[in-house]
A and B are shown apart, each in its own frame.
Chain A
Amino acid sequence: MPSIGMGTYQMDRKTLQNVLLTGTSYGFRCIDTARDYWNEPLVGEAMKIVQRKNGLKREDLFITTKIGNSQQIIGNIEQQIDISLKSLQTDYVDLWLMHWPYPGHYIETWHKMEKIYYSGKVRAIGVCNFRERHLNALIESGISIMPMVMQIEYHPLGTIKPMIALCDKYGIQVEAYSPLCLMDKRLIESEKLKSLAVKYNKTIPQIILRWDIQQGIIPVFKSATPHRLKENINIYDFTLTSDEMELIFTMNEDYKFHPESINCPGY
């Protein structure tokens, strides 16, 4: 699985194609979408263009998509993956995630996702936005496959240590969405991050993304700006010390940009 990914939320056709073409030319391989982004067909179209223009094969790309709340409520999970595959113009996705632990449905959804995993239509399955109680309830329900990936909001302002520890315990790979917390001013104006940026001659986003990578966490960020894509992948030529890693951890405010219960009532 690639160590860094590109998000595609709320991008129009032209922007999306530009981002994927530019991003893959810089070395990005992981593309993140979701049914609820309403752009799977556009991502599918853009992937074809990327393969054609950048000389990549399908297997060179790592495609993640997610099953949304409304599909969980409908319950026809088997058909939903087929819809995603058709939209994405592919016969498999590399990672299929449950977007939210929708109350009353998420355990059943997971069991259906397990069956689909065995069908080969998805190479890996995982979950997003779970809290400890969701993961524990899921495990207690008797699962045959442990979620392989947990995608969750994670940045220096919200370090959710207990959840990360639980993922470590079960060997679940953590993916960080909103890793830069939309460049909240508490990050941009942070003296701690500024000093590290100066020391390593990097930008603050590069410092944060490096902080993710060194924890073994995969950041999935969104940017429609080519120079930022280039900047954000240029993070493999320096290493933060353990003290510097801890320094960033001290910025934690238990802040969440995405209030979960708004997106998933009863969450």
Chain B
Amino acid sequence: MIKKFKLAVLFCLLLLLVCVYLWKGSLLVCAYVAIVTILLVVFAKYSFLFVNKLIRNTNWYKNQFIDTDKFVTNVKYRTNITRNYDVVNLGSNPGKFAFAYENSGLIGANWAVSPQSLSYDFRIIKNYFSYIRDGGVIILTMTPFGFCLKDYADDKLNMKYYLLLDYTLIINYSYRKHIRIAYPLLSSPIEAIKRLIKDVPADNRLSLTTNPMSPEEIEEDAAKWINGWKQQFSISELDAPVSEQNRDCIAYNTNLLAEMISFCLERNLKPVLVLPPTTKALSSKLSESFRESYIYSIIRNANTHQVPFLNYLVDARFSDNELFFNSFFLNVKGRKVFTQTVLSDLKIV
């Protein structure tokens, strides 16, 4: 594609020179026009690259790809020698905000990406598992409604994976999209320039150390989450039997989870299923019958290999709202306590 673009530019230049020659009939003028045009093209190219680089440094751009730079890459391989992780975790936001391995004494990595489906958890495992040591632990983060989600319909949510997965693993991959990600000035020029002038705030949720919400706000936030999920997954009543639409998706994810577990075991990795805690305000809205229909029964069906399932959804050790930054996600303090708890429960620290 780049080669074609270069050829097109060259062709245009030649065409221009032919036109100038036919018009002026002078080779000297042609040479002058050629030099000026080349200088303009070079200037345009470097200006474009410079502005594009500035755009990639905006919070607007970084927020879209916030979880992509934490993966080990082959770039700068001589210094980038992290291998043999003792423990990694996958997951969507609940996983992202639940685990932090600093000071755990283990080599760990949080490979959760927000938001993320179970199928992309598997794709990340397929792409990165050989960084994990033989016998290392893979935490698969379970979520209350995660089994109702097949993959996101919005193709934009596949974009972040262009920066971290092999192209064969990306849904609806195209090289054109890949280029557009690398050059946001091409893909969304107006929005990009706008954000260059007036940027959006950086996503700093990972660094929140306290819960800024009052108990009332936490209640409201929990209700908002529940209503959002009910709408997203077309659930009118949480305690009602699982709808036909969700049954298909749940069957798909049950098979997928079973496959992921087998994949890990086959490679001598230890998969562990973990359901992180939420505030009481949120967990109390998920009745026992809901949990059974939408979480526990699915895990039982998928977990034919009987790998450990650690359930912290309702756990008195995490009943303090100060461990969260809203009704759902753990903050820095909560993450530290929770990670230590999980690692202790797994007896790997």
Contacts and interface: CB of A to CB of B under 8 A. Distances in A.
Interface of A: 133, 182, 184, 253-257, 259-262, 265-267
B77 to A, nearest CB: 7
Contact of B130 (A133, A184, A253, A261): A261
Contacts, number: 44
Contacts of B266: 133
A267 B169 CA distance: 13
B81 A254 contact: no
Nearest to A183: B78
B312 to A, nearest CB: 29
B83 A256 contact: yes
Nearest to B266: A133
Contacts of A254: 83-84, 133-134
Interface stretch (B121-129, B142-150, B248-256, B317-325): B121-129
A261 B129 contact: yes
- Is chain A's interface secondary structure helix, strand, loop, or mixed overall? loop
Contact of A266 (B77, B78, B126, B133): B126
Nearest to A70: B168
B128 A253 contact: no
B133 A262 contact: no
16 contacts: A133-B266, A182-B77, A184-B78, A184-B81, A253-B84, A254-B133, A256-B83, A256-B130, A259-B72, A259-B128, A259-B130, A259-B131, A261-B126, A261-B131, A262-B130, A265-B127
A262 B81 contact: no
A262 B72 CA distance: 10
Interface in B314-347: none
Nearest to B126: A266
Nearest to B167: A265
Residue in A254, A257, A259 with the greatest tally of chain B CB atoms within 10 Å: A259
Contacts of B191: none
A138 to B, nearest CB: 15
Interface in B111-168: 123, 126-131, 133-134, 165-166, 168
B304 interface: no
B81 A265 contact: no
Contacts of B267: 133
B79 to A, nearest CB: 9
Contacts of A261: 126-131
